[in-house]
Amino acid sequence: MQMTPEFFILAIVTIVGISTPILLAALGELVVEKAGVLNLGVEGMMLVGAIAGFATTVFTGNPWVGVLAAAAAGATSSLIFGFLTLSLNSNQVATGLALTIFGTGVSSLIGTAFVGRIVPQFGSIFPPELARDPILKVLFGYSPIVYFSIIMVVLVWWFLTSTRAGLILRAVGENDLSAHSIGYSVIGVRYLAVAFGGAMAGIGGAYFSLVITPMWAERMTAGRGWIALALVVFASWRAPRLLVGAYFFGVLVYLELFAKASGLSILPSQFWAAMPYLMTVVVLTLISMRDRIGLNAPACLGKPFLPAT
């Protein structure tokens, strides 16, 4: 095996494939958590997005419409969670878990009609000549969803740090009662955030069913939604770090597979698999040690909004 540029380029392309869906779902969850809501239903929303995107593409033949449908389906399922937790103040942890059970069931039931069908891969939209050159492939060899995920990182980052709306969203997550007293609609902001999170998770799910493997299989996300949840924490609720974290996770997975395929056994594979989670705990602890008061976790995370009336 030679360490040629070609070799690294191939590795990068694979890593992008591993990282993108998790990055998308995690970006959505980041906004949700910044608004002070913890939605553990990411896995369920991803599955709903995966089947909705696939089914729509089967019917319309247009993956762009499929991705939109995935976003809409993800957002719709997230609104069940939103209604229960925001309007009825139900417990967020339990409701999120219930949403995952729901999403798994609904996607399986709808999916039975789509097992064994395929759609064309939603791959690169650039002329193939561009992707033939190895260097250019790194830039032009991906599905539009990949570019979308990167653009969204920038947009979310800009939105949260530089816009008034982002400031309001963060205020709602940090101190809902003051935000309320200034006159912002805490519940309204949170609804929007939850729906955005659902849409992003849905698109992340569609990346599985339209790009990586253009097919439907029950539970095809195989737990990636939970990794997305971990990533948000790993990134300490910052969008640029989320990008780094998602790709770091991709590199770890690739290293594990690479070591196995090369016949190297430095450490048991389970160690590699546990790494992202252990790292998340460590990172979380380091952040917390560094600034105890400011701890970047939104202060209202997971707590219901109970204004004194």
In the beta sheet, which residues pair with residue 118? 215
Q: Is 4 in the site for other proteins (CB under 8 A)?
A: no
d(CA 70, CA 198) in angstroms, rounded, equals: 9
Q: Give the position of tokens 């779902």.
A: 25
The two three-digit tokens of residue 240, written as one number: 């640029």
Quote the least distance from Cβ 94 to other proteins, whole Å: 4
Q: Is 268 in the site for other proteins (CB under 8 A)?
A: yes
Quote the least distance from Cβ 154 to other proteins, whole Å: 25
Quote the least distance from Cβ 52 to other proteins, whole Å: 11
Measured from the CB atom, the residue of 147 and 226 that comes closer to other proteins is: 226
Angle CA 53–58–63, to nearest 5: 50
207-266: contacts with other proteins (CB under 8 A): 208, 212-215, 217-222, 224, 226, 229-230, 233, 253-254, 257-265
Quote the least distance from Cβ 169 to other proteins, whole Å: 19
Residue 304 is given by DSSP the state -
Q: What is the DSSP string of 126-176?
A: S-HHHHHSHHHHHHH-S-HHHHHHHHHHHHHHHHHHH-HHHHHHHHHHH-H
Cβ atoms of 185 and 26 within 8 Å: the answer is: no
Total residues at the site for other proteins (CB under 8 A)?
90
The two three-digit tokens of residue 91, written as one number: 């417990």
Q: Is 278 in the site for other proteins (CB under 8 A)?
A: yes
Q: Is 1 in the site for other proteins (CB under 8 A)?
A: yes
Quote the least distance from Cβ 74 to other proteins, whole Å: 16
Q: Is 299 in the site for other proteins (CB under 8 A)?
A: no
Determine which residue in the list 60, 76, 108, 175 makes contact with other proteins, applying CB under 8 A. Answer: 108
For residue 228, how many other CB atoms are within 10 A of its CB? 30
Residue 118, helix vs strand vs coil: strand
For residue 48, how many other CB atoms are within 10 A of its CB? 29
Measured from the CB atom, the residue of 25 and 159 that comes closer to other proteins is: 25
Q: Is 126 in the site for other proteins (CB under 8 A)?
A: no
Instruction: Give the burial class of 220: count Cβ atoms within 10 A of its Cβ; 0-12 exposed, 13-18 middle, 19 or more buried.
Output: buried
Measured from the CB atom, the residue of 103 and 159 that comes closer to other proteins is: 103
d(CA 102, CA 114) in angstroms, rounded, equals: 19
Measured from the CB atom, the residue of 193 and 228 that comes closer to other proteins is: 228
Measured from the CB atom, the residue of 159 and 231 that comes closer to other proteins is: 231
d(CA 153, CA 96) in angstroms, rounded, equals: 24
| Amino acid letter, 223 | G
12-41: contacts with other proteins (CB under 8 A): 13-14, 17-18, 21, 38, 40
Q: Is 277 in the site for other proteins (CB under 8 A)?
A: yes
d(CA 13, CA 222) in angstroms, rounded, equals: 21
Q: Is 65 in the site for other proteins (CB under 8 A)?
A: no
136-195: contacts with other proteins (CB under 8 A): none
Q: Is 121 in the site for other proteins (CB under 8 A)?
A: yes
66-105: contacts with other proteins (CB under 8 A): 80, 83-84, 88-91, 93-95, 97-99, 101-102, 104-105
